[in-house]
Amino acid sequence: MIAASRARTGSLALVLVAVAALAQDREEERFRRQREALVAQLASERWTGGEPVRNARVLEALRRVPRHRLVPPEQRPHAYEDRPLPIGYGQTISQPYVVARMTELLDPQPTDRVLEVGTGSGYQAAVLAELVAEVFTIEIVEPLGRQAEQRLRELGYANIHVRIGDGYLGWPEQAPFDAVIVTAAPDHIPEPLLEQLKPGGRMVIPVGARYQTQELLLITKGAKGPRDIRIQRVMPVIFVPLVRPGERP
């Protein structure tokens, strides 16, 4: 009798595990379809939300990165909507179009070493990690940085290195970088980031006043030092401010 009861209990447990696994598979398939639809939208010539994303490597990276795994659980139903989402601590994850456009402007190459300022949820770092050799990402809000580091590790991104600290100062020990991307807005272009960018390298950064419309800039560095730069104004954007130690986000 006891043995039969234990057998029934064991069988029920196996059934529950199988049901849970099936539900998870269905959820992942639903997210995959939503991700595919989002990528198709961003690449469409008929889309009116901005210039279409045309870089095939960037679009493929967006297909591979599970954005729903890099947002708070309560935001997962909205993960593949083209809009920013709150991630806590007064911060947001950028809308997918902005992530794709900034990545496309950066023109990442497979051998590149890229510095990211503003880890946030880790989504932009994950997209870059699909495209380059190494990503060095800095987050000043420690709980956010640690959460992102854990999620990225769980997703298997061994080529992403997370640091907690002042992103304005960059990561001089790992410089120079082939490219720099900044996902929070300072009111001017940080000199340390220009210094850590290789000649010929590219920086994508939003610049402007706090909580107002800023300009997304593409900066290309020349061979004569940090002041030898060419600036292209790309589009208006709104980002959270780039904060320094002691400042409120």
Dig out the tokens for 206 from the structure. 């939003």
User: How many other β-carbons are positioned within 10 Å of the β-carbon of residue 243?
Assistant: 20
Rounded Cα distance between 25 and 30, Å, is: 9
94 is catalytic: yes
Cβ neighbourhood burial of 98 (10 Å; 0-12, 13-18, 19+): buried
The catalytically annotated residue of 5, 11, 44, 94 is 94
Q: Give the single-character DSSP code of 88.
A: E
List C-alpha distances in Å: 165 to 46, 86, 145, 168, 210: 42, 21, 9, 9, 20
Rounded Cα distance between 200 and 215, Å, is: 22
Cβ pair 80, 66 in contact under 8 A: no
Q: Tell me which residues are annotated as active site.
A: 94
